[in-house]
Structure 1
Amino acid sequence: MRTASTILLPLLLLGAPLSGWAQATQPMTVSQKNPASREEFSVLTSDTQTKHGAYRQYGGRKGTVLLAEGFYMAGQKDSLWTEYFDLSSQPKAKGSYRRDQKVGEWEYYAPDGTLATRYDHTTNQLLFRSPSKWPNKLVIRPLSKDVVITEPPIALVGNDALARSVGMSVRYPVMALRNRVGGEVRVAFTIDSNGNTSNHRVVRGIGSGCDEEALRAVKSLHAEWIPASANGQPVASECEMPVVFAVR
């Protein structure tokens, strides 16, 4: 008669790269104070610079909130990965890696736990997109006057998650609070034809430190973008995003 542990072991192994168990590893923990964070992972005994096996990353204000978990194979992300919002246990994104690249269908979630987008990273196809609850205040422009954008760029995490991330990241500048300065700062940036962002800058500011803080918050987003397209071809575009400072 087989015991419960005999049955469970094969099932547990299905969640990790099977070939990874053949190599000797040792556990490691790396902590940082500013910002508070912690990584737990294993490295090859033969090469302690190479992650290999289960991985967990913690963050949040105290560095105790699970932000991501998955597996490494010889220093590269592999198999199933899940990312979480920093103020809840809600999944932010989940899907598979192969040789450090996202493959197959990935699901991206809004902060309330509902599905925002489903995207196939192998075929580069958007399979599902939920309507945003955040008013569409993003302004999209082509970089070239000769280009007519037929599909705007899309943040895979969804506009709601973008708004939440910026809102949670922004810290009201002391000078602005003291002088009761409030209003809307608009930050523009370029999204190239591969979905990479660059050239972040303030195009309309209100001063008193708010411009610099808005720029910092938007630059820290690190969101994945599907580039804009013109008649089915990916093109570069400019995105303008509002950051609101309200004195209460």
Structure 2
Amino acid sequence: MLPILVLAQRQRTTKWESGTLEKNQKVGVWEYYSYAANGEQIVTQKYDHTAGKLVYCRPDDKEYLAETEPGKWTNTPLTQAPWFIGGHEALAAYIAKLKYPAQAESREVQGRVVVGFVIDTLGQVSDHKIMRGIGSGCDEEALRVCRTVPGNWVPGRIGSRAVPVRYELPFTFRLH
């Protein structure tokens, strides 16, 4: 009699994602969600973790600064915007690691810091820069946290061609 190999697969569904785990690794197509103001669940991304391919992403009609030709950066609409694998909610988990700088807290500094970085044609990130800052240690803290975000990005595309894209990520500092 031949031994039967049973793979330990299980379905995982949370408020933000749904898919199959095999040996605690995501396999197959996973759906990632956001929620509309009325509470309606919206599929923002479907990613095939086995094939390493984006299957679906919610359309994004905003323009991005992209390298359309070698050395030439242009604000342009993309056929496919860059997407963090796991969607906006997975990206928000990194942003949540933000710590309020003591100097900003003592001076009651609040506001939004925007960090820009380049997502290359392989989905890796580099060239982190403060695009808009508020000082008192907040800029440095936003930059520190942004650098912890892994290079789990699906690159932006113009037509079928992947292009480097400058992406801007906002960090909000608010005292409670």
Fold similarity call, TM over 0.5: yes
Cα deviation 1:37-89 (Å, max 9, x = unaligned):
xxxxxxxxxxxxxxxxxxxxxxxxxxxxxxxxxxxxxxxxxxx69999xxx9x
2:94 to 159, 162, 165: 165
Structure 2: stretches of 5+ with no match in the other structure: 36-40
Maintained 8 Å contact 1:205/1:211: yes
Q: Does 1:126 align with 2:50?
A: no
Q: CA deviation at 1:141?
A: 1.3
Q: Which has the larger radius of gyration?
A: 1
Alpha-carbon distance between aligned partners in 2 of 1:222 and 1:83, rounded to the nearest angstrom: 22
1:175 to 103, 117, 123: 103
1:219 to 117, 130, 147: 147
Q: Per the alignment, in what secondary structure is the counterpart of residue 131 of structure 2?
A: strand
Q: Which residue of 2 aligns with 1:105?
A: 28
Question: How has the CA–CA distance of structure 1 residues 114 and 164 changed in structure 2, closer, same or farther, with 3 Å as cutoff?
Answer: farther
Q: Which residue of 2 aligns with 1:150?
A: 79
Q: Normalising by structure 2, what TM-score?
A: 0.71
2:65 to 141, 153, 168: 141
Q: CA deviation at 1:92?
A: 8.0
Q: Normalising by structure 1, what TM-score?
A: 0.52
Q: Per the alignment, in what secondary structure is the counterpart of residue 206 of structure 1?
A: coil
Q: Which residue of 1 aligns with 2:138?
A: 210
Matching residue's letter, 1:15: L
Cα deviation 1:143-192 (Å, max 9, x = unaligned):
333684332111121113312430x2001011101000011101011100
State the Cα RMSD in Å: 3.9
Structure showing greater relative contact order (alpha-carbon pairs closer than 8 Å, 6 or more residues apart) = 2
Alpha-carbon distance between aligned partners in 1 of 2:106 and 2:11, rounded to the nearest angstrom: 41
Q: Does 1:14 align with 2:9?
A: no
